[in-house]
Amino acid sequence: MPSDLVSQTLQGAVLSSISNIIAQYISAYKENVPFTLDPVPVLKFAIFSVVSNPPNILWQSFLEESFPNNVLASPPSSAKTNEKTTATKPETSLSKTNILIKFILDQTVGSVMNTLMFLAYMGYVNASPTAKYGPWDAVVHECREKFWPLILDGYKLWPIFSIVSFLWIPVNKRIVAGCLVGIGWGVYLSLMVDA
- Output the pLDDT for position 76: 56
Percent of the chain with pLDDT over 70: 89
What is the value of pTM for the model shown? Answer: 0.82
Coil, strand or helix at 139: helix
Q: Which domain holds residue 16?
A: 2-194
Half-sphere exposure of 153 (CA within 13 A, CB side): 12
Please say whether the beta carbons of 44 and 17 come within 8 A: no
- Output the pLDDT for position 179: 81
pLDDT averaged over 10-residue windows placed end to end, the chain, 195 residues: 80 91 90 96 95 94 94 66 62 94 97 96 90 89 94 92 93 85 82 67
**If you ran DSSP here, which 8-state letter would residue 28 be given?**
H
Q: Can you tell me the distance from the alpha carbon of 20 to that of 187, in angstroms, rounded to the nearest whole number? A: 6
Please say whether the beta carbons of 35 and 29 come within 8 A: yes
Q: Can you tell me the distance from the alpha carbon of 171 to that of 98, in angstroms, rounded to the nearest whole number? A: 14
Q: Can you tell me the distance from the alpha carbon of 192 to that of 161, in angstroms, rounded to the nearest whole number? A: 21
Q: Can you tell me the distance from the alpha carbon of 53 to that of 112, in angstroms, rounded to the nearest whole number? A: 15
Instruction: Calculate helix-pair angle for 174-194, 39-66, nearest 10 degrees.
Output: 140
| Domain tally, the chain | 1
- Output the pLDDT for position 2: 58
Q: Where are the alpha helices (DSSP H) in the chain?
A: 2-30, 39-66, 96-105, 111-125, 135-154, 158-168, 174-194
- Output the pLDDT for position 14: 93
- Output the pLDDT for position 75: 62
pLDDT tens-digit map of 53-89? 999 999 999 999 999 999 988 665 555 555 555 566 7
